[in-house]
Amino acid sequence: MLNVEKIREDFPILKRKINNRQLIFLDSASTSQKPNQVIESIKNYYEMHNANPHRSIYQLCDEATQLYEDARKKVAKFINAKPEEIVFVRNTNEAMNLIMHSFALPKLHNPSEIIVSIMEHHANIVPWQLVRKNNGTKLNFIDLNEDGTLNLEQLNNSINRNTKIVSLTHVSNVLGTVNPVKEISKIVHENGSLFIVDGAQSVPHMTIDVHDIGCDFLAFSGHKMLAPMNIGVLYGRKEVLEEMEPFMVGGDMIKEVTTEGVIWNDIPWKFEAGTPNVEGAVGLSAAIDYLEKIGMENVREHEKELTQYALEKLSEVEDVQIYGPTNPEVKGGVVAFNVKGVHSHDVAYILNDFGIAVRSGHHCAMPLMKRLGIQSCARASFYIYNTKEEIDALIEGLEKVKMVFKL
């Protein structure tokens, strides 16, 4: 059990009033709020240790390098990887772009195939569309079952000897569906394909072990797990990363440059061109400390409980349609819904009058919207600082939305 009251004390923004109401932040799937421990770690970095890492031998430079590389080690341990398998990027989008430029574009050719699912965020669709356009590879979309889970039978039937990449989200940012990535990894590897996992919505919320999953790549964003924006992670299996050429080149990612050519640095540095985001890495390190202190199992349990509660309460509201699985065991802390006849932006706008922040729109998952037969939806998403009382307030807010629209 989480001591939510105590946790909330650590998040200064939760004391804010919005429209004279206490802020109720139900949009952590977009970005999480940040605890004092993370904010302070960044302040301390600038007050005490700031320098450009890897570049000189004076003490501050050494300290900045140490902090940056210690953060890498911490991330590695957090997902059970080796430090050299952790590439710091800006976010999940950039991680996918890195795989596209450094692996898929140079290595895939017609008749290669890539498999994704219809529930993907655009970050895990658009790069592969570009590969299709450039290299003539085929892009297959796996559909959903009626309950919002992934159609594994279709995956099994679609995968073939031309399939070079299977790239799937671990947890859907709309449906909340938790995909059985360990099981899928076996299918993918038996076929000799590479398995990319989009962990943007899973790494912040549950225990992740890349060896247990068996994936080749895992991408995630620090800002969704209490850390600042613009620090993200691409985990790549050592053997795969070593085979890849960097796509961003310049400073700090080389061993030697002569007028004739260049020798790349070792992994992971060969993928990190230019001055890195040390404050981001420091903040991510503090965020991991914070989450580990709570325990990732407890984070997951808390969110399961909130999700179950939200599903129960929302299903009691007439004219509300819920999307995705209704079993919290296979659902992350994300509940997407529509109020019949009301645009999701109107729902979010009215909820804002009550200090409630939910996301509305297409959630960067337009193919999924089309598959669900909707233009958009509203979404409440939960994290360690959310409470059942906040869900009660959401339900009350939805009754107000219905009153405004005379439903």
Q: Does 97 bind ligand 7TS (CB under 6 A)?
A: no
Q: Does 344 bind ligand 7TS (CB under 6 A)?
A: no
Question: Tokens 């009691």 appear where?
Answer: 316
Q: Does 205 bind ligand 7TS (CB under 6 A)?
A: no
Q: What angle, rounded to 10 degrees, do the helices at 296-315 and 388-404 form?
A: 30
Contact 184, 197 (CB under 8 A): no
Q: Does 376 bind ligand 7TS (CB under 6 A)?
A: no
Q: Is 61 a catalytic residue?
A: no
Residue of 24, 123, 206, 253 interacting with ligand 7TS (CB under 6 A): 123
List binders of ligand 7TS among 259-288 (CB under 6 A). Answer: none
In degrees, to the nearest 5, what angle opens at C-alpha 72 toward C-alphas 69 and 73?
Answer: 90
List binders of ligand 7TS among 21-80 (CB under 6 A). Answer: 29-30
Nearer to ligand 7TS, 124 or 326 (CB): 124
Nearer to ligand 7TS, 41 or 201 (CB): 201
List binders of ligand 7TS among 157-186 (CB under 6 A). Answer: 169, 173
Residue 362, number of CB atoms within 10 A of its CB? 17
Nearer to ligand 7TS, 64 or 368 (CB): 368
Q: Is 338 left (phi over 0), alpha (psi -120 to 50) or beta?
A: beta
Q: Does 198 bind ligand 7TS (CB under 6 A)?
A: yes
Closest alpha carbon to 315 in 337, 289, 283: 337
51, with CB counted inside 10 A (0-12, 13-18, 19+), is middle
Contact 164, 189 (CB under 8 A): no
Query: Please, what is the minimum distance in Å from the beta carbon of residue 370 to ligand 7TS?
Result: 17
Structure tokens at 24: 């109720």
Instruction: Give Cα separations from 146 to 175, 193, 196, 254 (angstroms).
Output: 12, 27, 25, 50
> Could you tell me which stretch among 56-64, 105-113, 193-201, 308-316 binds ligand 7TS (CB under 6 A)?
193-201
Q: Does 359 bind ligand 7TS (CB under 6 A)?
A: yes
Nearer to ligand 7TS, 29 or 64 (CB): 29
Q: Does 200 bind ligand 7TS (CB under 6 A)?
A: yes
Residues identified as active-site: 364
Which residues are near ligand 7TS by CB under 6 A? 29-30, 91-93, 121, 123-124, 169, 173, 198, 200-201, 221, 359, 363-364
